[in-house]
Structure 1
Amino acid sequence: MELSDDLLCLYSERVTERNGTYVIEVPKREVEVGDVQSGEVYRVAIVSSESPTQNERDEQDDRPQRPPVKEDDIREVEIEDVGDQGDGIAKVERGYVVIVPDTAVGDRVTVRVTEARENVAFTEVVN
């Protein structure tokens, strides 16, 4: 399938009946963080679902994701940058940020997670 450069958002949604009409709802995130504006008129294309679990995946996207690491996890990371306070910065799954003290760009180290927050983990080098 070819997608237009004018495409503003793409998501899956069920067609539901409401008061004698059929409705396809726009997810709140598409208006809050996307290019869709409330009150504007848009062209809508309906495409058959590629898999029976597509709606399940979309519903999961609405839930906050847990950090991909947890306390005491051991990971091998590569330092991609150095932060304002001089600590190394690495990224793991989904671009999740891992802070590694006493490292430099290009270092490949094994770390233990000491604290995992929603958007960043703090670690210590174990080798």
Structure 2
Amino acid sequence: DRGPVPVEEGQEVDVTVDSVGRRGDGIARFNNFVIFVPGTNAGDKVKVRITSVRNNFATGEVVKGE
């Protein structure tokens, strides 16, 4: 088991998008936990609000970009 999930719905976290997935969503990590962020590109530094949490990943939306 990976241990506790480090984020919860509604939480805001600052992340850097590492790469882009097959469906075009940005992929960021927070404490090694994957967060999919639609509408972002690799290298983007963004504040993300978590919109959904699963066992092994979360999805979020950009609150503000830099």
TM-score > 0.5 by shorter chain = yes
User: Using the alignment, how far apart are the partners of 2:51 and 2:18 within structure 1?
Assistant: 20
Instruction: Tell me the CA shift for residue 115 of structure 1.
Output: 0.6
Instruction: Show structure 2 runs of 5+ residues with no match.
Output: none
* Aligned twin of 1:81: 19
Question: Residues 74-126 of structure 1: CA distance to partner in whole angstroms, max 9, x if unpaired?
Answer: 00100000000000000111x11000010000000001000111110000001
Percent identity between the aligned chains? 42
Q: Give the AA of the match of 1:67.
A: V
* Aligned twin of 2:41: 104
Q: Is the 1:66–1:118 contact (alpha carbons within 8 Å) kept by the matching residues of 2?
A: no
The correspondence for 2:9, drawn from 71, 75, 78, is 71
Equivalences for residues 1-127 of structure 1 within 5 A: 65-93=3-31, 95-127=32-64
Instruction: Tell me the CA shift for residue 64 of structure 1.
Output: 5.7
List, as ranges, runs of 4+ consecutive aligned residues in structure 1 with deviation greater than 2 Å. none
Aligned residues between the structures: 64
User: Using the alignment, how far apart are the partners of 1:64 and 1:83 within structure 2?
Assistant: 22
Greater share of strand residues, 1 or 2?
A: 2
Cα RMSD (Å) of the superposition? 1.2
